[in-house]
Copies of this chain bind each other. A is one copy, B any other.
Amino acid sequence: MLVLLKPGAAESAVSDVTSRLRMLGLAVHRTDHEGQVRLCAVGEVGRVDWAQAAGWAAIERLEKIPSPFKLVSRAFQPAATLISVGRVTIGSEQLALMAGPCSVESEKQAFTIAAAVARSGATVMRGGAFKPRTSPYSFQGLGEEGLRILRRAADAHGLAVVSEVMDTAQVALMARYADILQIGARNMQNYSLLREVGQLDKPVLLKRGLAATIEEWLMSAEHVMSQGNRQVILCERGIRTFETYTRNTLDLNAIPVVKELSHLPVIVDPSHGTGIRNKVAPMARAAIAAGSDGLMIEVHHDPDHALSDGAQSLYPEQFEELVGQVRTIAGAIGRRV
């Protein structure tokens, strides 16, 4: 239930309403918008006598939020969420460019790529240390050693770090090294993991599952936000369809849909979305044109010898050229790199 307080309500009144709602067994989340305090009460709202609550002092009116996601919805928070990480504010008019290798493989690899993507305009470095692999016999990532390398390489070039966390037991470790914790597509509905990162005070990048509807994806973001962590970045990375020419079907339609339904920033990963190097740049450009808040791109200086996903990684020169094109398109719709 959305509880809108009277404009100018005193903080003591806000506290009072909040306390009363909590005594009813509900959790209360607050946002302020254009001088008005908006409270979102979640939990077993069906048991509450709302007609009575509507009469409390300081309450202007109550509104049901029609979607199954509440904190994630624009109904609760009309203004866009802005998430500052290093030199970029995700969700602002500045696009967030995240780039780096699929997996961290070695110090040399990480530093080489960090230098290249930073020079081209990236502000966040991606790199996997724990890799979810279909086969138990494939390279599983360097683990903590990989995180250490990634952190140093990023720091050396003024980049923030995003890396995937696969398990609740890894969350504390990951939070020591990464600025943004990534939840991978396969774990989008791993609710234990969502709850765990929901208790952090660090941004979470939530990839859309291969078979997840947009609504389910937003519901997973709600799991994170319901634990108190409001810094959720959504990331479209392709859905599974019958088409097999591309590895996945990057669903750019999701961008304007999410932008309408939610205040959360949403970025696009065309590397996994297409799985084919020469399709990455066209789809990256298209993502920006469709309104994406940023890009997450796999870049490798020697993709033929990459331990994972080489076929979809851009060469540093390709990434640089892409950033140039993105800059122009961004300008056409009032944004910038």
Contacts and interface: CB of A to CB of B under 8 A. Distances in A.
Nearest to A139: B44
A19 interface: no
Interface stretch (A30-38, A81-89, A296-304, A324-332): A324-332
A328 B334 CA distance: 11
Given A169-B168, A242-B240, A216 B134 contact: yes
A28 interface: no
A175 interface: no
Contacts of A211: 209-211, 240, 242
Interface stretch (A48-56, A150-158, A247-255, A308-316): A247-255
A214 to B, nearest CB: 5
A82 B166 CA distance: 32
Contact of A136 (B44, B223, B244, B246): B223
A241 interface: yes
Interface stretch (A8-16, A103-111, A184-192): A184-192
Contact of A243 (B214, B260, B278, B283): B214
A286 B252 contact: yes
A181 to B, nearest CB: 15
Given A166-B191, A189-B132, A214-B245, A43 B137 contact: yes
Interface in A130-160: 132-137
Contacts of A133: 191
A219 B332 contact: no
Nearest to A258: B245
A242 B242 contact: yes
Given A43-B137, A239-B243, A329-B329, 17 more contacts: A42-B137, A68-B135, A132-B191, A133-B191, A166-B192, A186-B190, A210-B211, A211-B211, A249-B251, A253-B279, A260-B278, A282-B289, A282-B290, A282-B291, A285-B290, A286-B287, A288-B289
